[in-house]
Structure 1
């Protein structure tokens, strides 16, 4: 079961899902988090709520045990689920995120404000609308790759361009999303923390907390990868994940 990160959608992990199935992983499920992709919007955006969403989906599909892989925010949702319901999680893969608090919130707040202030006239062709939105985001979101990623959320609904992510709920819960809930009982199963060597999100300062909550965890870095490990070093990422999966 693959869980995407903040401002992402299940489409970010389609190539990963296909490669894992080709590699013999068995069935793979990708899903949109609440307030993302085509999932319903809700004013609540905590890891407990997102973990429950996944639990309800697993129950509805009759899945009694799964291997969870989550990137960034999805990794924190996956960890929350494993710690709440270890019986449902056979093993856990957290991609470039630790069970600790993450980056300064101000950076994400400024992205949200920039997205909210994008103005696009109705009836523009999609390519022109994207270009206009890109120009308006550029002063705040300097990184072109990040702008392209945010722009995957620009959709046309009945002739108007809107953001399909629930920006109000996300901005309201940014502190929750950047933090991690408190847990006392560790997850007993195998866990892999798969980081990018060029990313600061899994640092040696996090090792004691990883060890406390995930005593069977391995930490592995993929050389030359940034935060979006599966995009930066796709083949190496797939190999690392397949190597961690149980033999068929």
Structure 2
């Protein structure tokens, strides 16, 4: 998703950012992350850490501003992670929600996190839901941003983005402006183009730009990225709190999906926000308010 347009100038200096990696078992991918420490220097012992997950073609950098602000407002430590095949995390031929959820489970185990809250947008949302259903003991609650536990086709735009990125790679572009000119044939929105081009970089000692993400791998995965690995809510449920943030101008959480959400997640709450699929960047303050209200300590 595009980077949140948030102003962080008012944040306390005590909010610190650290970049690290984790190392998990061979069956899992070690996830790159940024750590945003709670302003007090240590999270309230009653509150666990938060793991923030981006959407398809995104990275942890997209959630930098909102992570700082939520860490401040909730006094909780936040780990903004790169899911497999994104950002600085390793590439792997397998790209599905079960594998991504297992990576996050390994991350939680490696860091010995307890009472963890998951926040995920789009692809990250289905990853959060998958882990909550698969390993509910690892998850205290979660926030799903504009996605539902249903099988649905992802927007056709994503396939067009893959075509554009392949064309950019084949063109051996040396400047960002050259890549953007190609991308304009596939996407009119400048913020979305800028978001996609954050994946473009120039390897050391080379003139030709390349994409950090494995374009072919993600392109091949598109057909099942709209699927959800759990089909029968009668067999598995997550009985803890869950917040579903819906962009009212988006098609990813239709009204007919709400009963299914309720069966998988009987304690879910719904927050409607006047936005499209890119809820966090389009309506950052409304998103912040919804998340803080849901996650703030209850009296």
Where on the TM-score scale, by shorter chain, does this alignment land: which range? over 0.9
Relative to structure 1, the CA distance from residue 17 to residue 106 in structure 2 (aligned partners, 3 Å threshold; closer, same or farther) is closer
Distance, in Å, in 2 between the alignment partners of 1:86 and 1:138 is 43
Which residue of 1 is the match for residue 126 of structure 2? 76
Task: Please tell me whether residue 67 in structure 1 is matched to residue 113 in structure 2.
Answer: no
Distance, in Å, in 1 between the alignment partners of 2:103 and 2:192 is 27
Which residue of 2 is the match for residue 115 of structure 1? 165
Distance, in Å, in 1 between the alignment partners of 2:54 and 2:296 is 22
Q: 1:136 aligns with which of 182, 185, 194?
A: 182
Task: State how many pairs are aligned.
Answer: 242
Report how far residue 64 of structure 1 moved: 2.9
Which residue of 1 is the match for residue 52 of structure 2? 2
Q: Report SS of the residue matched to 1:29.
A: strand
* Structure 2: gaps of 5 or more residues: 1-50
Q: 1:218 aligns with which of 269, 273, 278?
A: 269
Distance, in Å, in 2 between the alignment partners of 1:6 and 1:65 is 26
Report how far residue 65 of structure 1 moved: 2.6
After TM superposition, the structure 1 = structure 2 runs for residues 1-248 of structure 1, keeping only pairs within 5 Å, are 1-104=51-154, 106-118=156-168, 119=170, 121=172, 124=174, 129-158=175-204, 159=206, 160-183=208-231, 184-223=235-274, 225-247=275-297
- Structure with the bigger RCO (C-alpha within 8 Å, sep 6+) is 1
TM-score by length of 2: 0.77
The answer to whether the Cα contact below 8 Å between 1:154 and 1:163 also exists between their aligned partners in 2 is yes
Give per-residue Cα distances to partners, 1:44-85, cap 9 Å, x unaligned. 001000001101111111113300000000000000000001
Greater fraction helix:
1
Distance, in Å, in 2 between the alignment partners of 1:143 and 1:70 is 23
TM-score by length of 1: 0.92
Distance, in Å, in 1 between the alignment partners of 2:75 and 2:276 is 25
* Structure 1: gaps of 5 or more residues: none
Relative to structure 1, the CA distance from residue 204 to residue 25 in structure 2 (aligned partners, 3 Å threshold; closer, same or farther) is farther
